Structures are given as structure tokens and as C-alpha cells.
Amino acid sequence: MSIQPVGQSFGRSVVGQKSVWIGTNWKMNKGPAEAVAAARALESFRPPPGVRSFVIPPFTSLRDVCSVLEDSALMVGAQNMHWKDSGAWTGEVSAPMIAECGASLVEIGHSERRQHFGETDWTVNLKVLAALRHGLRPLICIGDTLDEFEFGVSPETLARQTKIALNGVAQKDLGQVLIAYEPVWAIGSAGRPAEAAFVSEIHTRLRAVVREIAGESGVRIPLLYGGSVSQANIRDYVALPDVDGVFVGRAAWEPADFMKLVNSVSGLVSRKAAA
């Protein structure tokens, strides 16, 4: 699956309409058989106009899922990558390997990678640059910890993570980048969904950060929210002016739930496009 063309302003599709992005990370779930079954269930799904959807299976299922979804409306991504193309990096997977599987997107810097596997802002930046070199869209995950949230320094943390992640990215490549704001305290079964008003404030600040980086290119980098998104709250987040979509875990792992979530924003897309 190749990267889909995008308009000059990335949050808008080639027909000039604003896009809403909805994707799910399957994490360490779904081995090849289960993943292929899920992909087959999604194969003929058509998201509402203006909605761009993706799934991110684990590595062992990546090639199979890419094959099943090759002609579908869904993009497929990988959950992580190394910044080198090849070499003595046991257990790692590189951007060219991911691209060869047929994926078009790669998740970089998820908080579980930062928390448990030593991922840093610096390695996130190296990976972003390598992903772009190989034609993969980096989906950069940023997030504040509970301590940072409680000390009121979330905006500073997120600005730092964003600026380092995008350091050295050519203006021509900014249109390929996606950013997901995922508060560490909001994700997973122990998390609590962030208040929509808080997400709105954070995304507006992030918009200013990325606008400064995008400079005169005018590229609108899509800013997704992730963290305990569910059927009950997805519309609250997607309706926010600086939220360009959502990145979902548990609530979207079942294909039927994923399709329901994606369909549930249909009325909002045209309203956002008109805004």
C-alpha cells in the first residue's frame, strides 16, 4: 500500500476537504490468524467521506494484514521501528522492512515504548527522520505523565517532545507527519479519559507549536487525541476545532467496534470541513 497523496495543507485531502483521522493500535494482541480474521472483517469497510482510517497490528501480523487490506480504504502501520536501515540490532525492525511489508505508516514514541523500553525524545527524532527517508508516515506519540499533569507542566512537556521529534524534518516532509497527543494518565485500563476542555486547550497550544515549525509551508499537521476514547466520548473529542482525529486502543480492537467508532463521526466531518 503506498502513501496516499495529500493536499498542500495536510489536514485537508486532495479535494480540499478537512480529514478526520481514526486509527487503532492493536498492541501485543492478535497473532497472524486472529489479525487476518480482523483484517478480513475490515476489508470492505468504507469510512464516511473525509475520514481516513488505519490499523496497526503487531509485527508478526504486519505483512499478512497489509496483503488483506491492500485494496481497502484502510492504511496499515507498524508499532515501532529502528532508525538504522540494517545491521547488528538484534530483535529490531527497520523502516525499509516495514515498507517492504506494504505498510504506509509507523507509530513512533508510544508512551509504553518510552516507559518500558527506554525510548527517548532523541530516539524518537532519529526514527521520525528514518521513517520519512523511507516514505513512511510517522505517527508521533507524545504525552504527559500524571506528575507532569498535576504540576501543570503538560504544555511544556508536549512542546519539548514535539520540537525534538520534528527536529531536522524538511518542510517538504511535514505533510507526511501525524501527531497523537496521548496523556499517559489517560491510556489503558487504568487510565481515565481526559476532559474535552483540557484536550481542546492542549491541542490549541500544540497547534501553535507545530505552526511555528511548519512556518511558511502552511502545512497543517493532523493532531489526534488518544486515551480511553470510546463510543461514549469520541464525538466530544472529534468536534474540537484543533483535534483532527483520534487514536484508539481497547475500544477499537474488535472490527465491529472499530467500524462503529469510525461511522459515528460522519456528521461531524462536514461540519469541521465547513468551519
Residues that bind ligand PEP (CB under 6 A): 25, 182, 187-188, 191, 226-229, 247-251
Residue 241's SS3 state is coil
Measured from the CB atom, the residue of 50 and 227 that comes closer to ligand PEP is: 227
User: Is residue 110 annotated as part of the catalytic site, yes or no?
Assistant: yes
Q: Which residues share a beta bridge with 101?
A: none
CB of 235 to ligand PEP, least distance (A): 15
Q: At a CB cut-off of 8 Å and minimum separation 6, what does 175 contact?
A: 6, 8, 10, 217, 219
Minimum Å gap between C-beta 221 and ligand PEP is: 18
The catalytic position among 107, 112, 148, 182 is: 182
Given 107, 110, 148, 203, the catalytic residue: 110
**DSSP structural state of residue 69:** T
Shortest distance (Å) from residue 9 CB to ligand PEP: 26
Q: Is 182 a catalytic residue?
A: yes
In whole angstroms, give the CA distance from residue 246 to residue 199.
11
Q: Where are the beta strands (DSSP E) in the chain?
A: 20-25, 51-56, 74-78, 105-108, 137-142, 178-181, 223-226, 245-248
27/207 with CB nearer ligand PEP: 27
Q: How many other CB atoms are there within 10 angstroms of residue 212's CB atom?
A: 11
Tell me whether residue 97 or residue 187 sits nearer to ligand PEP (CB atom): 187
Whether the CB-CB separation of 20 and 245 falls below 8 Å is answered with yes
Exposure on the CB side of residue 59, measured as CA atoms within 13 A: 11
How far apart are CB 215 and ligand PEP at their closest, in Å?
A: 29
Our CB check for ligand PEP shows the closer of 177 and 248 to be: 248
Could you give the residue numbers annotated as active site? 110, 182
